Amino acid sequence: MSKIHPVENKCEGVAGNGSYRRPDPCPTKLTVWKRSSMSFQGTDGFTVFDEHGRLVFRMDNYSRKGCRSAGGGLVLMDGAGNGLMSLRPQILSMQCQWNAYRGEDECKEGQNFKLFSMRRASSFLHRRKEEAEVFVEGSRIPAFTVEGSFGSRNCTIRRCGRQELVAKITRKRASPTVLLGTDVFNLVVQDSCDSDLVMAFVVIMDRICSKSFAPALCS
């Protein structure tokens, strides 16, 4: 079976003591594997590998400390299984809004600091190139936008204002002539943005773009 993780990142070098260093700036190249409950009984989710094939993120969609039962919440974890963020759908959201909180132990809204909110872009604003918007610190102006088609694995994440590119999602090839399915794709994160933040965007995008419209509970 062909390797699905990226080749070694050529931006890396070796310091004088023999340890690896990452020159600045240098994008982080990840391979995201969308797992299906059809092949993993009882769960679906994500596993994410770095350019060396090491597991760096995972998300399992099954009950974890009551988060799923409390409104369909999800937990983004690092490769060792430590909770990084709790992701919860906003009840009665017409734009399928999700809220992100730090850690995994507190999933109840209002009892933990909200990192950001993410929702589908409003069709009333005719933003056809934008699929989703991210809001931070209670601002009504988006901090990030997702442009393109997430379902086709061809989209970009940009920081608003300067329209700075922070991440890009593309289809993955096993070889120059073999294009893999949409369950395995490339995620390249620029040095200007944290990879765990971008991966949280990806998890939420999977929910708000692949589900039919369900304003009562988007999960």
Task: State pLDDT tens for residues 100-148.
Answer: 999 875 555 455 688 999 999 876 554 557 789 999 988 889 999 999 9
User: Given this model, what pLDDT does residue 84 score?
Assistant: 94
83 part of a folded domain? yes
Tally the domains of the chain.
1
Confidence band, pLDDT 50/70/90 cuts, at residue 94: confident
Whether 18 is covered by a domain: the verdict is yes
Which DSSP string corresponds to the chain?
----SPPPPTT-EE-TTS-EE--SS-PEEEEEEEE-TTTSTT--EEEEE-TTS-EEEEEE-S-STTTTTTTS-EEEEETTS-EEEEEEEPTT-TT--EEEEESSS--STTSS-EEEEEEEPPGGGT-TTEEEEEE-TT-SS-SEEEEEETTTTEEEEEETTTTEEEEEEEE-EEETTEEPPTTEEEEEE-TTS-HHHHHHHHHHHHHHHHSPP-TT---
Is residue 98 predicted with pLDDT exceeding 80?
A: yes
CATH of the domain at 110: 2.40.160.200
Taking residues 181-206, report their average pLDDT: 95
Q: Is the pTM for the entire model greater than 0.85?
A: no
The residue range of the domain holding 136 is 13-210
In a domain, 216, yes or no: no
